Amino acid sequence: MHPGNVASAAWVFAAAPSKAPFYAVGGALAAWAVLLAAFGVAHPDFPRAAVQGRLVVLTTLLLVAATMAVAVLTAGGEGGKARATPGPAAAPASSTLALAADPSGGLSYDKRAATVKAGAATIRFVNRSPLPHNVTIAEGGKVVVATRTVTGATTETTATLAPGRYVYYCSVDAHRQAGMQGTLTVR
Ligand SMILES: [Cu+2]
């Protein structure tokens, strides 16, 4: 194994969202150890030459280093993701924006931020509260689409959304000012 290959493999593994690569490299290390032990038992004069011995040591060190690197990178990657992206960016984009109003009558949605796929999108709004609410989507102060205003009901509308940063809010009275708003990322 070439050191460069180890580094690139570790990088690829770090991008993977699971511990699987750690088990893969760890498994390779374990397999190598078993292989080495078996070979040593079968060949009492092993390792014969100094070069052979050095190759064995080098391979073992590389595998150990790769295992440790992958362990650190996979652990760090997961922790980093959890810290850096609070919700929307981490979640895979859907073509449906699903929002719900606080059912107990508070002036808020169930999400402070959301992400939808660019293109034809469905906006589904559940309002189980006794107050009238809607979902209005705007980009740079310009309203793009809005659901009907409903009370104790669910409403749905569709829109074609271009990639960008939007805001969603309730346009009833001063609900937006009271906190009934969030950011929408379209990508
Ligand atoms: Cu409202």
Q: What's the pLDDT score for residue 57?
A: 55
3-state secondary structure of 136: strand
In contact, 97 and 123? CB cutoff 8 Å: yes
Q: Token digits for 18?
A: 């699971």
Q: How far is the CA of 147 from the centre of ligand 1 (A)?
A: 11
What is residue 52's predicted lDDT score, i.e. its pLDDT?
63
- Cis peptide, bond prior to residue 47, ω within 30 of zero: yes
Average pLDDT score, the chain: 74
Question: Residues 89-129: pLDDT tens digits?
Answer: 455 679 999 999 999 999 999 999 999 999 999 999 999 99
C-alpha of residue 175 to centroid of ligand 1, in Å? 5
93 alpha carbon to ligand 1 midpoint, in Å? 25
Cα 88 to averaged position of ligand 1 atoms, centre (Å): 22
Rg (CA), the chain: 27
Q: How far is the CA of 169 from the centre of ligand 1 (A)?
A: 8
Ligand 1 centroid to 125 CA: how many Å?
11
How far, in Å, CA of 133 to CA of 36, rounded?
69
Q: 34 CA to middle of ligand 1, Å? A: 66
pLDDT score of 22 more than 80: no
pLDDT reported for residue 15 = 46
pLDDT in tens, 6-15: 444 444 444 4
CA of 120 to the centre of ligand 1 (A): 25
Please state the rounded mean pLDDT for residues 154-175: 98
Task: Locate 53 and state its tokens.
Answer: 């011995």
The amino acid sitting at 137 is: I
Degrees (nearest 5) of the Cα angle 174, 150, 101?
65
Distance 163 CA to ligand 1 centre (A): 26
The confidence score (pLDDT) of residue 53 equals 57
Q: How far is the CA of 87 from the centre of ligand 1 (A)?
A: 23
Q: Round to whole Å and give the CA distance between 69 and 58.
A: 16
**Which domains, ranges and CATH numbers included, belong to the chain?**
3-84 (no CATH), 96-186 (2.60.40.420)
Answer with the residue of higher pLDDT: 146 or 30.
146
Mean pLDDT score, 21-50 = 53
Say which residue, 148 or 17, is predicted with more confidence.
148
**pLDDT confidence tier of residue 178, bands split at 50, 70 and 90:** very high
- Nearest CA-CA partner of 79 in 21, 22, 7, 14: 14
CA of 23 to the centre of ligand 1 (A): 50
**Alpha-carbon gap, residue 81 to 99, rounded angstroms:** 24
User: Does residue 110 contact residue 126 with C-beta atoms inside 8 Å?
Assistant: no
Give me the pLDDT at residue 128, please. 98
Spacing, Cα 154 to ligand 1 middle (Å): 13
Query: For residue 156, how far is its CA from the centre of ligand 1 (angstroms)?
Result: 16
For the chain, strand residue ranges (E) read 96-100, 113-116, 119-127, 136-139, 142-146, 153-161, 164-169, 181-186
Indicate whether 80 pLDDT > 50: no
For position 148, what pLDDT does the model report?
A: 98
